[in-house]
């Protein structure tokens, strides 16, 4: 598990590249706890124990995905941390649009093309008052074939499936560097002026979010799901759903778009 390469990025940020790790999120959380600096990014070709949302696992075939995590130490209050994955989602949509891909966000932070998932995001927080940090991990399907995607057992897609060609290592690396650079610019704007930048990113996030105006099911736990029309995202990043029992707002949960995408 030796670091293969260390890439120096703008503003003192660093990308540590590995061949194989258990989970980039787990490793970066551990590094954060022993003082790793803001802007430490960690990527790998393969994870043996990738973490997904809601306690799930995130599996990959070696070399098939962009798998990376990024550490930030926001100076703004913890209630506004949701703006960080929101900014990363916006950065990812815009990076993919530059590749010719029409990506959309499914609330809170799944990236879809059509109704199929291209990427997932997992945020982990360190909330000791004297050592706050935020690690955001992103798994992007890059080179999975149609057959491999079907095997995942849920609607999924990859960059290759959309562009129609294998994405080489250098190109995948270039996509990652462009994504980090874009996110860095957004994040520095958030750090400079959280209130105004957050409002701007939220508007951009909403313009890319395909959940709004969908008939959705929000699964809260194994026994409870709420259905209705998703109408908005609040200033705190929560989902607003118009249900038959009135308006409800959700801070978390798994959302299914019941019709369309
Ligand atoms: C989801 O369930 O949709 C979120 C998946 C997040 C996966 C990424 S891959 C890189 C990073 N390291 C992990 O262990 N998980 C995240």
- Does position 260 have pLDDT exceeding 80, yes or no? no
Per the rule left: phi > 0, alpha: psi between -120 and 50, beta: everything else, 248 is beta
Can you tell me the mean pLDDT for 123-147? Answer: 93
Residue with tokens 């798998």: 67
Q: Pocket around ligand 1: residues whose beta carbon is below 6 Å from it?
A: 23-25, 47, 50-53, 56, 58, 67-69, 110, 120-122, 137-139
- Looking at residue 54, what is its pLDDT? 85
With 90 as the cut, is the pLDDT of residue 122 above it? yes
Whose tokens are 């430490």? That residue is: 40
Ligand 1, atom 7, lies closest to the CA of 139
At residue 2, the pLDDT reads: 81
Per-residue three-class SS string for the chain:
CCEEEEEECHHHCEEEEEEEECCHHHHHHHHHHCCCCCCEEEEEEEECCCECHHHCECCCCCCCEEEEEEEECCCCCHHHCCHHHHHHHHHHHHHHHHCCCCEEEECCCEEEECCEEEEEEEEEEEEECCEEEEEEEEEEECCCCHHHHHHCCCCECCHHHHHCCCCCHHHHHHHHHHHHHHHHHHHHHHHHCHHHHHHHHHHHHHHHECCCCCEEEEEEECCEEEEEEEEEECCCCCEEEEECCEEEEECCCEEEECCCC
pLDDT exceeds 90 at position 127 = no
Q: Is the pLDDT of residue 24 over 70?
A: yes
In this structure, the residue with its CA closest to atom 15 of ligand 1 is 51
Domain 3-208, CATH homologous superfamily name and number:
Bira Bifunctional Protein; Domain 2 (3.30.930.10)
Which of 14, 146, 139 shows the shortest CA–CA distance to 65?
139
| Domain residue spans of the chain | 3-208, 215-257
Gap from CA of 69 to ligand 1 centroid (Å): 8
Residues whose CB falls within 8 Å of the CB of residue 241, separated by 6 or more in sequence, listed in order? 216, 218, 226, 228, 229, 230, 231, 247, 248, 249, 250
Tokens of 153: 């057992």
Question: CA–CA distance from 6 to each of 16, 92, 128, 135, 176 (Å)?
Answer: 5, 22, 29, 19, 14
Give me ligand 1 centre to Cα 120, in Å: 6
Q: For the domain 215-257, what is the CATH code?
A: 2.30.30.100
Q: What is the pLDDT of residues 209-229, one digit of tens each?
A: 999 999 999 998 777 899 999
Alpha carbon distance 202, 184 (integer Å)? 17
pLDDT at 66: 98
pLDDT one-digit tens code per residue, 66-118: 999 999 999 999 999 999 999 999 999 999 999 999 999 999 999 999 999 99
Q: Tens of pLDDT along 152-197?
A: 878 999 999 999 999 999 999 999 999 999 999 999 999 999 999 9
143: confidence class by pLDDT, cuts 50, 70, 90: very high
Q: What percent of the chain has pLDDT above 70?
A: 99
Cα of 25 from ligand 1 centre, angstroms: 7
pLDDT computed for residue 65 by the predictor: 97
Could you report the per-residue pLDDT of 34-63, keeping only the tens digit for each? 999 999 999 999 999 999 998 899 999 998
Residues contacting 126, CB < 8 A, separation 6+: 29, 32, 33, 132, 133, 134, 135
The answer to whether the beta carbons of residues 83 and 56 sit under 8 Å apart is: no
Q: What is the pLDDT of residue 82?
A: 93
Between CA 48 and CA 97 the distance in angstroms is 30
């Amino acid at each position: 598990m030796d670091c293969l390469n260390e890439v120096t990025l703008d503003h003192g940020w660093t990308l540590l590249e590995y061949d194989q790790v258990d989970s980039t999120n787990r490793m970066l959380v551990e590094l954060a706890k022993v003082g790793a600096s803001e802007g430490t990014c960690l990527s790998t070709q393969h994870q043996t124990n990738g973490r997904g949302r809601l306690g799930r696992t995130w599996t990959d075939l070696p070399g098939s995905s962009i798998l990376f995590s990024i550490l930030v130490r926001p100076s703004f209050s913890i209630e506004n941390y949701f703006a960080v994955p929101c900014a990363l989602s916006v950065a990812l949509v815009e990076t993919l649009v530059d590749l010719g891909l029409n990506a959309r966000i499914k609330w809170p932070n799944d990236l879809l093309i059509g109704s199929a998932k291209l990427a997932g995001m997992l945020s982990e927080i360190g909330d000791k008052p004297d050592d706050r940090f935020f690690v955001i991990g992103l798994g992007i399907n890059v080179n999975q074939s149609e057959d491999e995607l079907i095997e995942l057992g849920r609607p999924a897609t990859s960059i290759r499936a959309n562009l129609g060609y294998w994405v080489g290592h250098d190109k995948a690396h270039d996509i990652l560097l462009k994504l980090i650079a874009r996110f860095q610019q957004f994040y520095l704007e958030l750090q400079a002026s959280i209130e105004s930048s957050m409002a701007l990113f939220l508007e951009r996030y909403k313009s890319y979010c395909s959940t709004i105006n969908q008939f959705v099911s929000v699964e809260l736990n194994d026994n409870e799901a709420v259905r209705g029309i998703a109408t908005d995202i609040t200033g705190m990043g929560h989902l607003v759903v118009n249900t038959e029992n009135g308006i409800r707002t959700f801070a978390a949960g798994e959302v299914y778009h019941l019709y369309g995408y």
